[in-house]
Structure 1
């Protein structure tokens, strides 16, 4: 993203602007830069918060602050660091009027440059409502306001609009031109937001102006009219209400925990911790809109509580009421095929960051899926399956039991403490439209489904419910085969609609939605007939993790699998290279060299989970292999199985002008090996550039552009389509076994490739070819030595 700046426009003879935003994705977001002594410089993020960001946004005419990113989210500045310890109340007219250290005094570096993301209300508005936080959704495009069609319009879309306008949380999405018909263009249709985007423009959209609607289908939104000001995070602060186009405060007469509970609920901030009085979070400056607020605690909105009339009070701002809530961790899934799959990101300190995949398993994924109302977890991918994040790695070594409501309740390292990089970003794939409820684990329970375009889960009637139907459910959830087919609300009665009746699956379908059934939601069943299933985890369907212990490195050791919250070993009965190759593949450790028996790397201390494992070698993980039921064996720990994998390669770029260009060289066993250019092009270079975060591939030069190494063997024929996430997914051609590269290699007319990169692992196929070629090279050199001798 190129640098762009935003600042106030001044007429001739007036003072110059003091603030601008640089390198952000929109004109109302970016790194904060301030002008002092005619030099632009940055602001340190020490104590930087939403109130400081609000001053910047208001000054620039960009609405309210959405977030106050720290840690050079928008890149590092290059000038002086002018301000540190900025502490605004939010009501100042300029950042220079906020308390701070002296100009130029700081203990920071440019890795701590502060940023802001503003709502920019000039691009979206709510029309015809009772205030600016409710009404018909309108968006500015090509200098003209237009409406949004309500096809697919839901609470997630409205959530983005409310956040963009600084109007709190979306509470309703009326349809059918609830706030009247617009008269301008219909700019957007089929808007699909995850709910976490900063602006409506960031959601998945059809081309502007393309729609099949009329103004009788104009979308609307009603937002909460609350905000919390001057707190330490978004879930604490002085309570303010928007009324009659003005924000005002609430008097603390009769203020207590019941009122705080309602506000925390309305703001999506979990449970109330405190209900501070006496302007604990500072005095407001506007009207005192409410007094004598009286809630019972069960209301969902503060407006449902009794209180004085608007503006009627006997208070001063020294009595402004406050709230402190237990802010739950905000979650989102990024880069997946739907809102229920993708890279896991959590919101902390006003910034999204990733989760390291160390110890990441299905129990952790279960918490994420439940928190996002996305059904049951299907898988918990490791290794940045959904691409690498770019922000902080907030969590590592997460250990959930699966029963927690948010990741913040799970055991983990302290926030921000990790030994990972973004190649280890954790992911989740949830079932979105299918889940099992009230069972003893994720693979048992009452069956609940959620039809497309609805937000409500419902049950399945047990009439005609049989083994074929249950097989589809278990397969769809990654839970193996159907064990017990249960009826009569075995796991308790549901409370929502009965969405499916007279279901009739063949047993071969991939999803229950593909089965024949009455799906209209109308039937003569009751919740006493809710269908249920217990899926069999006969072949370790719940094993989520594999590790190698007590070996010389990360790719050799005693094989252990994680099941039912406990690590255990694998018996060596029938253990062979096919089984070991699956483990090496699962751990991204190259190819299997050995499958040792007899506790080669010591005896394990815990359970023996697996015996008679029978893999073909083509499986992606041990859970896909055959074997005895988990925990069933006739072994002792003297028979613990082990694995020795070949290990991984490293990649370096040699003789280039910078870290993102040069001759590609691969390291194996201490030897650096160059890569031939046969078939090499932008497709291959693009894969590496994308994986390593060095931008788009500019070119893929061949020939000796970056010099020719002496005496290095070649690996040739790497082929990618350009869509792979990494070189691991690419193919290679075998090296001609009859060709021997000997002493004449240095003068050979060979060319080399150059592209962006630093380190990478190779697929087992590439590794096999390289090992073969290295062996040939050794034999070739020996022959050359004998001849010269």
Structure 2
């Protein structure tokens, strides 16, 4: 017998089943009328993206929805993996595999721009230049292929990261036990990378979502990971730290040809079925660094422009894992010839000539133990990587390597061309203790000089390139280039930099942080030659600009800090003058940190009038130690090389700059006016900017500032026509004067300032210099809320007080107000303290 509850359940289920089959009239009602259908179809969200005309849902030509229609996406000719990563991630399609110029439409067709993406944005509009609608120059739309069902995340590039597989529209990490080398070969191939290089659980962290519940059983030849056989996992748990991480080698799509080895020659890139020349007009060393890294060829030794050929224009930052992650475009550019060190490299250093020494061993890189490496070995390495002589050699100087340690002891004689040409012997002890991976600092190469200036630290800048000395010039970055030149030559701080004649040579652009000029961006177009004067024997380091920092003096080709006890204000006056700065403003031990090297062992005894610090007399120090925190720091005021003229105030007028013996107009572009004006007001001690207006176009310095500089000479500048700039600063009005008088002799000078006898009349007078007509004076009394205002007559106002009493005792000040240049300005006097005493 069926229980009542079960019977009711069966009947209810049968009834629901019966209801699910709609009668004909109800079925007809389920088809919405045309107008209702139209209402139910919602348009895509603005700036949605899709891929069309591809072989899968994750490949095809990129389109974006904008202003009611789907349009092709213009990549502004530039192509970068950041933009492609954005598309793949936005469509939940894994990693980028390939990209190419898509259908070549008619030139100038309307499209949506996609440029300046990191890959992590949620909308096109969040990219630097994304979402603008306009003509696609060149007519290129883009074809993209994404990996669809597998991706590598949290890695350093496109070919490394934690393995994740798409499962039911979400991503799952894979357990190390369920994934072997043959599986890795399939994933690396599917993502367009080279062979697997490293495979390990926890290598790239743990995933936040689920874990894939199958074991892969690939044979290694499959095209896609999901084409591989799978089996149920023996154990359905994956312990923490076992989410598999994979590093694939970079793809074999870059080669160096015609240079005698695989690590030297002209750069070529395999693209769309053909090898094409790679060139650049700038970023030469950055591009070369990426090429050497991708090929596993060690450090960059040199990078030279070649002939102009049709191929990729490439622009790299230097941090990319492979050339395909750099920006690129198709136009004529000089081809690039690169020479890499091949079997040795310096890593984790500040530039090309410093870092931890690593040697290539069985296709992987090994650090070298300090005990197995001496100065003669260092001489060979420095020469091998295109640098100067060794400057520092120490274990742990640039950290520990993550891989293996070289198991031989080098026995170089110092004359070999390559480190691997040196003899080696087995190590006595096969262990290398932590902190002993050898770090090396080489001096910069002797490929820069200053000529015609009377010393090795002054003159026109020249660069040795392709067998000859060439002029170096620039249209901007003048001070930044000079800083790098002085640093590379070991010539202290920059004193001045002047443009020379226009000559054929390198156009150079530096940030100022590069260790050598060869690491700056360069071009082969005409630029004004550059003349630089360096301080040679003294410098200020770790300061905020050219006129502040820790004082260091050159001693036996190295730099030594100076002890506070050995350096006084007269010494500081000489240093500030030598560096082209103003008078000393602050002098204190430890103000800019401690130096890492030696301490100067003499006491300076300058008279303050010497031209150079090393022209001053010195004496032996009484105490040969300098306690920590006593390395002297110096802040000089900025030089008097900027002024505002024609505004009846030193804080208002047209900007002029003293350059090459004359005052010149300073101009700038519209977008940079406020930054230049803010810097001018700050340098002149004139407060903040009230207004910045363009003047007439005049011949003078074009200036471009970020606003963070200490003085105008630290800005980029050019020598082309720029609109002159008129600036008004907040401290436009000079400080007014305030003084006390009385007609009856009741005022006298007491111990604490002016005093007044009770009962006498007195007058407080406010006055200012005759800058502008009109205005008014406000007299404030700080002991109460009482104020009085009078118009300025002949630039002054008198406030009369009859019969002084105790209520008049306190502090008074004058505030001068005036309305000029369509703005209200004010300036306050110093305080006047008044004491009331007996009759």
* TM-score for the superposition, normalised by structure 2: 0.35
* TM-score for the superposition, normalised by structure 1: 0.36
Q: Give the greater-gyration-radius structure (CA).
A: 2
Give the structure with the higher percent strand: 2
